[in-house]
Structure 1
Amino acid sequence: MTDKDAPLPVSAEEKPSLFKSPISAGVFCEALALLALVVTWLGSLGEYHWALDLLSHFRLQYVVVCASALVFGALRRSVVLVLAALVSLLWNAQLIHAVHRTAGPAPSLAKPAGKPLKVLVFNVLAVNDNHVAAIDHVLNVDADIVCLPEAREDWRLSLEPLRVRYPYRVEELGDGDFSIACYTRLPLKSSEVRRFPPWRLPTILLNLDYLGTPITFIGTHPMPPMTGERAAGWREQLGQIGALVAGIDGDVIVGGDLNATPWCHGMRLLCGKSGLGFHSFDPVWVPTWGRHLPVMIPIDHVLTKGSFIIRKRHIGPPMGSDHRSVMVELVR
């Protein structure tokens, strides 16, 4: 073979590149899309590991991811990707739909017995500097029961208008970011502060009289499950509150920043054997935390056990906190 017949050297510019090849880039994107779909399914295995349970919170975002993967798969004419995206989309959509309306039909709601009971839950954010706006918002809602997680010691003076408005209160302001305060105009028969292990954060129990019948309100704020140790404490607190509610006869209302979405394992621990449920005519998947972020999720809730149904559920405006308030109207 002569020098003329020898193959010419391939220059660096002419060498094939994965990122310059449209086919390779497409396959790479397909792999990423399939990986994203796998993540949406791993979130359903939260009972087996705390990290997997963290993935369960983002069902709203997963619907967008699955829909995008479905469109991409259709453009790529990838049967595998289209089928995987469609099944994943339907799975996440049905989880959200399951908490869209959780109260069955009740003809009596057209004429409820007595005035609706209004409950407000608002994580005011410990470092929120806008105390005046936050307290004015609470006063304007004028709920019968108010629960304020993260109202800590430096909120003491700002809470004075609520002490004037409401004749009954229980304040635990010395627990830092997990302080909590509850106010009510309903006759207070007794109150108690429970501290569940291992973190012993305060949970407030109010035994109240409502239209001549007893009800129990439980206000709580468990630690966010961002590490294995904290997740264990979070599950323990929610599970123990569920056990507490299971042992209470009559109507029970649980409200607070639960750091739990409707789809996570912690919520299943709370509701599983306690009889608690959302029982709401309005959707409970509307985000209450991080509404300015792509990862916005619903973690502030009011749940009931017994004869109450939530007729209205309203998410409040921004008031300096990273949470929005949740106001519900309950009727029997």
Structure 2
Amino acid sequence: MALIGTPEVAVTVGATLGEGPIWDAQRKCLWFVDIKGHRLHRFDPATGTLESTEAPEEPGWVVPLADGALLVGAKAGVHRFEDTTFTLLHAVEPDVPGNRLNDAAVHPDGSIWLGTMDNAEEAPSGGYYRLHGSSCTALSPEPMVITNGPAFSPDGRTVYLVDTLERAILAAPVQADGQPGEARLFARVPEGMGYPDGPVVDSSGVVWVGLFSGWGVARFAPNGTFIERIGLPVANVTKIAFGGDDLRTVYATTARKGLSGEELAAQPHAGDLFTFTVDVPGLPPIHPAI
């Protein structure tokens, strides 16, 4: 992979916890959220403008639908967002009020895999779920304090799951029944490189992982070998997305969360949206079957 140019600010956001970037090929824009700021953001790269909407509770992720509406995973569950209105479609873990939805990805079969986490970042109460049509079923991995991902290999046969506090990226086969098989350790982020956050896979099968407190994005080969860290001028990089007509424009969300006043003064662009270009494209966005 050749990095074309250096990462630069795409738009000033100042997000407390920017997350969940995803390219909308239909509208040629990028959606992302500020979890702690309760904001849903829409960035138009053609004009450089940012539009923001107040979201219910804490939004963790957003996914465009084929009909032009959006799915938004907020604290209580999965919402449909259309015409400025959020409608709750699926409550997730209503019996665990301390949890919230955190990250998600669409499998090639149209199902959405989503993760939950302890909002206090203390208890191993987070898990993964598969939403397909009107059915939302729990998946099998062991509970985690902070789940991130999933992300899928280009053929959809492997799912990558991130256990953030353990600095572990797991891989599991996706079985014919839509359930993950036994998970194995795919890679571990070394001490001193921060914590693995949201994962994304490009068209060559390389796994990209945001590094919270790690000043960049890590790349791992399909066999789990660490390739490189792409540095950014802010400590907390949460997740990337591939966008643009050729899916070679990378967008990275970042966060101000946890930074001291001194650290924020030294990182004036913490919480902003960054961009850079690469020579290996990402995977085309998939509309969920909802």
Instruction: Kindly indicate which of the two structures has a greater share of residues assigned to helix.
Output: 1
Q: TM-score surpassing 0.5?
A: no
TM-score (norm 2): 0.34
TM-score (norm 1): 0.31
